[in-house]
Structure 1
Amino acid sequence: MSGPTGGTGTAQTGGTGTAQAGGPGTAQETAARLLRRIGGGGAVTVDLDTTVTAPEERRWEGLPGALVAGDPRLDRDAPYAVLGGPGTGKTSLIVDTAVSFLRAGGRADELMVVTPSKESAAAVRTAVVDRLRAEDSYATSGSPVRSVHSWAFSILTTVESEQHGPLPRLMSGAEHDAQIRELLRGHVADNRGDWPDEIRPALPLTGFARQLRDLLLRAAERGLGPDDLEELGRRHDRPMWTAAASFLREYRQVQELSGTTNLNASELLHTALAALRADDARERTDVSSPAVARWRDSLRLVLVDDAHNLDPAAGEFIDLFLRPGVTAVVTGDPDQCVFHFRGADEQFLTRHAATGDHRVTLSRSHRLTAGPAAAVRRLQERLPASGAAATSLRVPLTGVAGEREAGGDGDRPAVGGAAPAGIAVHRAPTVTAERLVVTDHVRRAHVVDEVPWSRIAVIVRSVADIPALRRTLLSHGVPVTVDPTSVVLAEQQLVSVLLLALEALLRPLTTAEVQRLVESPLGGADPVMVRRLERSVARAVLGTGMRAMECVSRIVLREATPTEEQQWTRFFGPREQGVLDRIRAVVDAGRDAHRAGGSVETVLWKVWQAADLSASLQQQALRGGTLGSQADRDLDAVMSLFDLAGDIVERNPNVSLRTFVEDVRAQELPTGGRDRRGVAPDAVEILPAHAAAGREWDVVVVAGVQEDSWPAGLTVGGLFGQVELVDALDRGIEPGAPVARAAGALQEERRLFLLAVSRARHSTLVTATGTSTDDADVPSRFLREIEESGAVQGTGAEDTGDGEDTAAGQADAGGGAGSEGTASTTGAPTSVAGEGDDAALPRVLAVEPLVAELRDAVCDPDRPGHERDAAARCLGRFAGAGVHGADPDDWWGVLPPSTTAPVVPEGTPVRLSPSAIDRLSTCGFTAFIESVRSDDAPTEPMLVGQFIHALAEAFADGLDVDTAHRLVETVIPELVDAPPAVVGHRVETWRQGVTRLHTWITARGGADVEVAVEQALEQDIGQTARGYRVVLAGRADRLETGPDGTLVIDFKTGTAVTKQQAEDSAQLASYQLLVTDGGGTAAGAVLVYPGKDTKTMTVRRQSAATPERVEEFRASLLDLADTMIGPEFTAAADGGPGAGDTASLSPATTQGRQVVE
């Protein structure tokens, strides 16, 4: 390692060693205990590796070697600053210095290793422990590695404990946000606060609370209290600052009333600083804190890692311990400072690096190969110089991993050996294609290059980009892990349903919420089981007007009577009954604990215990794979929920269950739980770019590098002017002064991109969406910058594919699927022809899409015979290996029918309805579905139609039009769920329609005309060819019987048909058939449309049926009835006219068809 100024040095890797711990008997006994604990019962094998492998020893030379060895000749009057780019060994130097100090006899309380975050502290702590675990003679009861906030918290707790003050408590960001929103809700309800009148409507909005919290955090980072912020607001005429100051004052008063000292991270550092300064003042009078004095006096070595990510308060806090005589090492890289939005500032690092003789530069990257290093250098060239005006603290990378030094073989071997190391860019035509490219690259790295899942990462710009990529990876068999801090706790699937089960103890759940429980892990019902459950209940309640899921809800919530429950569940099998029993067991267990006065923790535990998911999730997690990664995530989420419950009960032992549920639901920011895992899960990690700081993997994919998201749009000060506050305090810029911020924001995004592309030890793939012909999705300008370095491989790799390179074709030409040599990590993946925008989707190296493509080839009659034969042979090999979906017995549509018996039992008449005949004649399948489905909730048109029919009946009994108008004005608004303007229009439309209807009805009739309304008609009209009796039954709205016969009148509220359609109407013809068979004379039939906007009533007439026409129509009905017997039904395209929501069930329709196979 070398550099232009200060000390230089090099690091080399040395040998390894092993140490044995325990014996076979001990390992077997421990494994048996673990099996019993997880409930494995032989289903899971636990093997304990008792071999302890010591990490590689590094050799340091020059000034770095002196720092690591603790050379007594070092100057201890000032800290040493170690500067270097990505992978140059800064953290390794920190770890080796700490290990060397402890091995030389130093005590843990004489050493402090400080990092900016708890995640980086955990990583450094693990590295130190791994180096010391082989030391039989070393033991310690404490950890010398802490985050700066952990250190400050420990100091503050010590001081407050000695002074008998209230002990501090560190709040999570989610809790802080929830408390702010709760206070704002109080301001809205009571009209409190000093907010400007024009701002008050925004108080309930989540964005308002987020911006207010951001302002308060920025103020706390700079030590501003309510009075300071209020004075700034008045001085600069910023009413939002003064209002925020008043809010902050109220917030602190509420915290004081709670009896606890709740601090966020920013407040913690300033409170600890104040305590230390007070202690310094007391020290001059010999009354300082003994514990703090011992801590300061005992420290001999202070190591600060990633100092570029410390905020000014953290730097000031650490400076209080950097006294003469204490060896201090500060490492960092200003070009990797990506947390300015959280208050991070390179000032602490650059101040200590300003002295040349105390500056150490590391210029050789032990992580990056030549390609990524060149890309990093190109990005660094576009960044402004750091440090003093005349001196840049940037250390160019002059050496990279894998280069031979002095005839050596490089510092590490290649991974797997199949894919070349370096950096590549892929521009995909669509977002879907990009995700498949990422998935294929990840799978090839694992399958071909043998990279462990845990050594692969996918980095995205923001948390919002994670879910879609996660779904794609999981669907192709890639186990995935996502940091809990990337997902809101209440939005975790298992936590969400547990909260719902708790809410069932406090209020009646809706039908939709009960269905969520049924479909959740608590109920354990998949979509097929849900359908079976609904069909069983629907069969039991057929004709009652009740919906199946409403009945299920009442059973689960124990709202049904024993008779109703027995009636509704009489068609249940053991599996259907098991679903309801599991949910009721969970709810009952929680209800019993709640009624017994149990605490929140007790009730939650009883619910979780009754769910009986712990053992199964543990076994899934131990098995690994995609299901294992999801189970691991679920268990972590449940543990976080219990941690939160414990914390809330600890603060308030009498907290109610309702308050707990509301608190968890109110948290809208992700929060991290306590990490109890000893090892990282064997899964690919998807994480936002900021979370990748200080970490490394073998293979990294940087996905979604678009111009509109990376660089992200310029973040302005918002409603509160947060950026202007920071500028006023840190740079002395007057608020309101014109400031060009675009360049600074762009540099911040460039630093973040530099960090992302510098995380891989072996290979990096950068992906984006968009081509030269696509103006909607534009790849980021950063792609062009790294391409200018000349080291990027495969730039612009876009495979449009012609659809000829199929799996079957490859198998036929190359010896079948799975042949060696067919998979390669070089170049772009091949494509599969499709339709629409995704006409050329890249093929993913995974079993599922390959099986799907082979099945498509086998079933395609247009494919050449040799391709279909080759595909069949491949499927046979897969089926023999037990691959799901390869065996034709698993395919839908190839199994024989479950029954060939007629739908209508022999001896039972076939019943036809006049209103269903038109549908039966166009699509027998849809008509059958409609005849057996349970009654759905009535729709708006149905309710309006029933109302108009009731008015028509009332007009026949003498109802006057004025009363009808009042009924319209009262009833229609209750039936129409729409904006007021639409409701008013409907009311006026039906006022006019009712007037027309009244005029038309009152003008009809006479002394010789007999009128009947809502008349039921039913006749046995004959026998089918298979010997089934046919009954035609319906209800006529109005019958007018006079000297010429009976006229059938049917009122309609829908769209009017044409005159010819009315003449051909099977519904009207069936009414005339019923009149004729009933002994009357059919005088015709009419359709009446009162809702049609015309001056006179719209009427469509069907002429009187002749005897010949009646018999002809009877014969056609008997033929139609024969088709209703089944078991085969004719299906029409799109279900025929009027099919409604049952159209998607028809095999001849395109509606609802799966478009991605």
Structure 2
Amino acid sequence: MAGSSCPRQTDKKAAADGCVPDAGQRELLDRFTHMRPGVPPVFSVLGVPGAGKTFTLRAAVKELTALQKGIRIAVIAPGRKNAERLRNTLSLDLGGLPAGVEVRSLAGFAFSVVCLMSSFTGRGEPQLLSGPDQDVLVKDAFEAVQSDGVLRNKFRLLFEKAGFRVGWEKLIGMPAFRTEFRELLVRAAELGIDAGELAEYGKNFGEYGWQIGAELMPLYEDCCALETAISAQKKLKLDHARLVREAVRILHGKSGDFLQVREKWDWILFDDFQNSTLISLDLLRELHSLGSAIAVFGNPDTAVNGFRGGISSLPLRICRPEKDGGLNAQKFTLQGSYRLSGDSARIALLVTNGIRTREYGTHRRVLAARAAQDSAPAGQTGVHLRIYPDTISEITDIANEFMRIKHTVPGANWSQMAVITRGQSIHHEIFAVFRNAGIPVRRIRSDLPLSKQPIVAAIAELAELALFSAPDAAQYENLLDGVLRGKFFSLTNRQIRAMKNEIWGWELAAGGERTQSEVICDIIRAHPKSPVWKVPAAAKLARIAKALREDVKQKRNAYEVLWNIWQNLDLASKWQDLALRDTAQSERINPDLDVLMQLFSAARRACARNGENLPFTDFMDDLAALDIAEDSLAPGREEADRVTFTTPSGSVGRSWRYVAVSEVNEGVWPNPRPHNPVSHVPRLVSVRLDAAMPQHEESGAFARSHEDVVDGELKAFLQAVTRSEKELFVTCVKNEETHPSPFIGMLIRREKAAQNGEDAGGGKNEKKKDFRLLPEYVRTAGRDYEYTALIGRLRRFCMLDEPEIKRAAREVLRDYADFSAAGGPSAQDIWYSELELSTEAENPEYCSISPSGFEAVQRCPLNAFFSRIGGQDADVQIPAAVGTLIHSIAEKYPFGGLAAMREELYSRLPSEVPCSDPLNRNKWLNAALKMLSAYQMYIDGGNYAQRRVTVLPETQASLKNTGKKYTVRARIDRIEIDEDEKTARIIDFKTGKKAISKNDAQNNAQLRIYQWLIRKNANMNLKSELRKKLSHSDLTGAMLLYLQDTSRSGEPGQRLQSPPDEEDMKRTEEELAQASVLMRQGNIRAVPNALCGRCEFANLCPAQNGGRIFS
């Protein structure tokens, strides 16, 4: 172990074994254990990263508890997760926490004070508002403005002055906008700023956002008070900032009776104090005045909570005299650094030197001494800088490095590895790459609000289905399908259709006459004799729906109803088993279980607010109004052997042996976008700390200065690069669109600087040592091009206006062509810049003409083209699907049989007709039944039993014209051959609603082509015997049989066409040749006709003023 101090231990064995404090740490511990009587001391312990600050805190707790029995020590951390981690480590150190030692977050500590005071005064336990709860209250406050004419006008003027062009009524509906003012109200409370002071600051500094916040603050506090008043137990409702402020107020009051029952603390030990808020200093001041000794630990250079109101200078401000706002603390600097050595110390020093010192300074000397002390050559002590051509290469290489470490370094574990990025947006991409590489990773928390989480949406959909009462059958079936496809049942569309058909089958088998849609409604009615109970999935859903309706009817509260839903789903043991496995499926189940915990927690809080009587439906409505994500309640699984993805703020108090600091790119790190661009919260903090920023002359408003942005980003970067105990990888991307961060350039030594002896800033200074890394220790990874991608880039270069680049690219392409000819991989021959332009010349290939297509081309070639490629809407395709089904049934039953045909229709229509609307499907079912009845009446009227008639159903015919380059292909629905009369007649079924006139039937193109094909002896899919019968029969004409356009008695409409003469045969052949030309030519014409008014392609038709679709 480098250095003399002890590391911040993270694994159980090391934490239990402990280390021996070095001389500096020993000196500080002696001061703690040898306090002089009188005023309790206050210490501010500073140290560079890895100096052992947290270890010293742990050692202090251990020695103080051993020295004095019954001592009361409060250990405070800024956040809940940090406090939880510190509590676990101290428990291992001490073999369990003694009764007098408490480890809490800042908000948790304040809550205990307020809770004790509320209990003392008989008000009951207060309630801490979550982020989503606060967002709802801010929304309520903004809505209160809308109901007050005077306030509404004032807000309108303030928003206009602030430069908002969108109406503020629209802005308040945006969660991000409300978050700005929620943070403003929280920070103002932390800083002790009331509405009057905030308005004064806004006027003095020209900040209209602050003036808006000043008007909003009393409304927000009124909403909090209203929430307190309407709650059953009158529990005090506070957000976390007002909670701490309330604790300060209680302690400052020093009520004699309360002081007798309050918790008395001998020591307050505050870790990572640089990440705490200003109000924590006020809290420590009150605790010190009540007799507690104080020790804070921190490093101002690694503060990462500035965007959350953290004050990085707190460890130094506490050292100021009391008249200047401090506690006159004794400053103590730890002299060691166990984690940083060689290049890691040099990088830390380079980043630290980039941060403006202000009142910092002395603790940095330790880091400079550490960097100068180590004489190891640069680049040899576990620091790697990598530059990649793209993000995927960057992530993949990090995964490969971690795999190498895991399999080549003895004792290396995945839990010792971490990837740190500036933000969480890229974590999902890293997660996918690592999972595909087989690396176990910790799951990523979702930022979606509860109502948008898939599993909560599934519960809401299930509840909506169970409580469904509207008469809209289509909406009901959509809900049902959604529930069955959702997380709880996971049925496919095919399985859902099969389930519905099975239910309907049981209904029909029992002699029922209800339609399928009517039977499916039994799922929410669920009478005892329903066929629903005979199908397992439907029966389970019916039981859940019935229980849910019963719970709502009996007015059980939301928490009880949710538990009953979960128990009735019977998924707990199955999902638990899946979650405990290390599989891809467990990664999907774990987030769902975490969200369920959040949901139950939210329901419990909501019921507590409403006296345990909150109805389930009201809770779901309230949930839908939340736009902010809940905190994760799942355990951190610190012991699991998994790689961690985190951010600088998430790495506070933690370290790993192997760390990759990724995406150090320009625009990402540093992130130049200021936090809170509307409310300018960081400026408010600076103003309150008497460190106002310069005015932006162009806009006339104060803005966060570039130096402060860079300072904050450097502190976050320093926090990240100092988390590694052994190996550090700093990676970035460099290509045409993305460039490395300036931080990367700050770490790399230029060759000129190395030769001329320039210092880090570029000026001549022979005495100052340059700690930057030499260029040879920075690896630039090459791009692994696929051959097609490489050829594509070369072809792009060939299109540039740079002659030299074009010439070089063409030379490489010629070389590549030789390489391909020699057996190497070949690239695509097609390249759009090398293709000839399309012309309007005819396509020399044969075209295929169908009778229906021939008729459509004659009417309008453009409409025929769109119809041929399936461009119709789904609603237009449904009649065609029904027509195809009727044709198929008629082919299967050439001599009828109504009962059999109806059974065939019932079984095939649900799967073959693309109609999800049950009402619409019933309409088409009735239409199809009507057509089958009409077809049966035609069969009955033909007296086929008394005649010798051969029926040829669905006959395929084709004829090729080699001269005109077209082939006619037809499917003739029905040919009837009367063997007694030696005649034949063609029947074409029509499923449209309106028959054409008798005169139009005589000239119908389809019938003419059918008769033309038979007269021409076209090729047919007939056996020789049947073909012989047909050829020896006289063609007596053709008929259109309209199965929907029927008479009052139900007989189908008939339109006859006489057999063709020689002139008809010649005209048909000429028209076919003209149609082939229209279909083969490059220009597809649009021809206005009588059907244009109801053409579904009118919006694309140039003849109807539609837009162009081709260029």
Normalised TM-score (structure 2): 0.63
Instruction: Give the 5 Å matches for 1:219-618.
Output: 219-233=188-202, 240-258=209-227, 259=229, 260-279=235-254, 282=255, 286-287=256-257, 289-292=259-262, 295-296=263-264, 299-322=265-288, 327-353=293-319, 358-387=330-359, 391-397=361-367, 422-449=382-409, 451-482=412-443, 484=445, 486=447, 488-507=449-468, 514-525=480-491, 529-534=492-497, 555=520, 558=523, 580-618=538-576
Q: Find the aligned partners of 2:490 and 2:359 in 1 and give their Cα distance.
A: 60
Matches within 5 A, 1:156-195: 156-165=114-123, 167-185=125-143, 187-188=145-146, 193=152, 194-195=154-155
State the SS of the aligned residue for 1:458. strand
Task: Provide the C-alpha distance between the structure 2 equivalents of 1:704 and 1:120, rounded to a whole number of angstroms.
Answer: 25
- Are 1:305 and 1:331, in contact at CA under 8 Å, matched by a contact in 2? yes
Cα offset for 1:332? 0.6
2: CA distance between counterparts of 1:14 and 1:176? 36
Query: In structure 2, do the counterparts of structure 1 residues 242 and 802 end up closer, same or farther at CA, with 3 Å as the change threshold?
Result: closer
Q: What code does the residue aligned with 1:265 have?
A: H
Q: CA 1:234/1:468 → structure 2, altered by over 3 Å: closer, same or farther?
A: same
Output the CA distance in 1 between the equivalents of 2:683 and 2:83: 33
CA distance in 2, matches of 1:14, 1:703: 23
**Aligned match of 1:86 in 38, 46, 49?**
49
For residues 209 and 460 of structure 1, what CA distance do their matches in structure 2 show? Answer: 27
Q: Spell out the pairing of 1:878-889 with structure 2 (5 A cutoff).
A: none
Q: CA deviation at 1:664?
A: 2.8
1:11 counterpart = 2:5? yes
Q: Distance in 2 between matches of 1:552 and 1:421?
A: 73
Structure 1 residue 766, shift from structure 2 partner: 2.9
Out of 122-131 and 427-436, give the one that drifted further.
427-436
In 2, the alpha carbon distance for the partners of 1:676 and 1:1045 equals 78
CA distance in 1, matches of 2:241, 2:106: 11
Shift of the 703–496 alpha-carbon distance from structure 1 to 2, 3 Å rule, reads farther
Counterpart secondary structure, 2:551: helix
SS in structure 1 at match of 2:281: helix
Q: CA deviation at 1:648?
A: 1.0
- Which of 79-88 and 709-718 deviates more? 709-718
Aligned partner of 1:705 in structure 2 is 664
Counterparts in 2 of 1:722 and 1:60: CA distance versus 1, 3 Å: closer
Unaligned runs of 5+ in 1: 3-8, 18-50, 410-418, 543-549, 805-831, 840-861, 868-911, 920-926, 947-1017, 1050-1065, 1084-1101, 1115-1137, 1140-1157
Residue type matched to 2:348 in 1? V
- Contact 1:160–1:167, Cα closer than 8 Å, also in 2: yes
Q: 1:379 to 1:236 in 2, by over 3 A?
A: closer
Contact 2:659/2:729 (<8 A) preserved: yes
Measure, in 1, the Cα distance between the counterparts of 2:738 and 2:952. 67
Aligned sequence identity (%) = 20
Which consecutive residues of structure 2, in runs of 5 or more, have no partner in the other structure?
161-167, 230-234, 322-327, 506-514, 750-771, 796-819, 826-848, 857-863, 884-950, 959-970, 975-987, 1017-1033, 1041-1059, 1073-1095, 1098-1111
Question: Which residue matches 2:648?
Answer: 689
The answer as to whether partners of 2:420 and 2:645 remain within 8 angstroms in 1 is: yes
Please give the alpha-carbon distance, in whole angstroms, between the structure 1 residues aligned to 2:777 and 2:536. Answer: 55
List per-residue Cα deviations over 1:514-570 (Å, max 9, x = no partner): 555334330134xxx44554588699999xxxxxxx98999488369999997xx99
**Residues 465, 728 of structure 1: CA spacing in aligned structure 2 closer, same or farther, 3 A cutoff?**
same
Aligned amino acid, residue 81 of structure 1 = S
Q: Give, as a single letter, the amino acid of the residue that structure 2 aligns with 1:624.
A: D
The 1:334–1:234 alpha-carbon spacing in structure 2 relative to 1, beyond 3 Å, is: closer
Partner Cα separation in structure 2 for residue 57 and residue 658 of structure 1: 54
How far off is 1:290 after superposition? 1.1
Q: Which residue identity lines up with residue 277 of structure 1 in the other structure?
A: H
Deviates more, 1:242-251 or 1:211-220: 242-251
Distance 1:564 1:836 in 2: 67
CA distance in 2, matches of 1:1104, 1:177: 84
Q: Contact 2:46 / 2:298 at 8 angstroms: preserved in 1? A: yes
Residue of structure 1 in register with 2:156 after alignment = 196
In structure 2, distance between residues paired with 1:657 and 1:766: 51
List per-residue Cα deviations over 1:337-395 (Å, max 9, x = no partner). 1212222113431034579994332343323453333221111111111426xx54434
2:555–2:615 Cα contact (<8 Å) kept: no
Counterpart CA distance in 2 for 1:256 and 1:250 is: 10
Which residue type is aligned with residue 119 of structure 2?
A: S
Give the C-alpha shift of residue 250 in structure 1: 2.0
2: CA distance between counterparts of 1:347 and 1:916? 81
How far residue 129 of structure 1 moved from its aligned partner, in angstroms, is 0.5
Matches for 1:1074-1089 after TM superposition, within 5 Å? 1079-1080=1036-1037
Give distance in 1, aligned partners of 2:121 and 2:423.
44
Tell me, yes or no, if the aligned pair for 2:269 and 2:294 is still in contact at 8 Å: yes
CA apart distance, 1:16:
15
One-letter amino acid of the counterpart of residue 366, structure 1? Y
Q: Tell me: CA distance 1:783–1:937, structure 2 relative to 1, closer, same or farther (3 Å).
A: same
TM-score normalised by structure 1 residue count? 0.61
1:129 paired with 2:91, answer: yes
Task: Provide the secondary structure at the position in 2 that maps to 1:359.
Answer: strand
Query: What letter corresponds to residue 765 of structure 1 in structure 2?
Result: F
- Determine if contact 1:215/1:720 at 8 Å carries over to the other structure: yes
Q: Is contact 2:6–2:21 with CA below 8 Å preserved after alignment? A: yes
- Alpha carbons of structure 1 residues 485 and 1104: separation in structure 2 relative to 1, 3 Å: same
Q: Deviations over 1:985-1041 (max 9, x none)?
A: xxxxxxxxxxxxxxxxxxxxxxxxxxxxxxxxx99574789xx99545346877465
State which of 44, 55, 59 in structure 2 corresponds to 1:96: 59
What amino acid does structure 2 have at the position aligned with 1:88? A
Distance across 2 between alignment mates of 1:324 and 1:289? 9
Aligned counterparts of 2:436 and 2:9: Cα–Cα separation in 1: 42
Cα 1:1046–1:331 change in 2 (3 A) is same
Shift of 1:105: 4.2
- 2:711 is aligned with 1:747: yes
Distance 1:325 1:254, change over 3 A: closer
Structure 1's 473 and 658: CA in aligned 2 closer, same or farther, altered over 3 A?
Answer: farther
For 1:64, which of 25, 39, 46 is the aligned residue? 25
**Aligned pair in 2 of structure 1 residues 89, 716: CA closer, same or farther (>3 Å)?**
closer
Residue 1033 to residue 488, structure 1, CA distance change in 2 (3 Å): same
Distance 1:778 1:941 in 2: 54
Measure, in 2, the Cα distance between the counterparts of 1:139 and 1:940.
72
* Residues 1:1104 and 1:499: Cα distance change in structure 2 (over 3 Å): farther
- State the match for 1:819 in structure 2: none
**Letter of the 2:197 counterpart:** D
Deviations 1:871-923 (A, max 9, x none): xxxxxxxxxxxxxxxxxxxxxxxxxxxxxxxxxxxxxxxxx99548999xxxx
Change (3 A) 1:660 1:468: farther
Query: How many angstroms apart in 1 are the aligned matches of 2:1061 and 2:678?
Result: 73
- 1:237: Cα distance to partner? 6.6
Aligned to 1:255, the other structure's residue is in SS state helix
Distance 2:10 2:131 in 1: 43
Give the corresponding residue for 1:636.
594
Give the alignment's Cα RMSD to 1 decimal: 5.3
Summarize the alignment of residues 957-968 of structure 1 with structure 2, pairs less than 5 Å apart.
Answer: none
Contact 1:423 1:763 in 2 (8 A): yes
Deviation at 1:584, TM superposition (A): 4.6
Q: Distance in 2 between matches of 1:512 and 1:1105?
A: 57
The AA in structure 2 aligned to 1:466 is H
- Matched residues in 2 for 1:270 and 1:338: separation? 22
- Structure 2 CA distance for partners of 1:469 and 1:688, relative to 1, 3 Å: same
- In the alignment, what sits opposite 2:723? 759
Change (3 A) 1:230 1:534: same
Determine the C-alpha separation between the residues in 2 that align with 1:1068 and 1:367. Answer: 92
Q: Distance in 2 between matches of 1:711 and 1:460?
A: 11
Q: Which residue of 1 aligns with 2:1002?
A: 1046
For each residue in 1:208-253, what CA deviation from the matched residue of structure 2 results, as whole angstroms up to 9, or x when unmatched?
2122212212211211223433454466676654443332212222
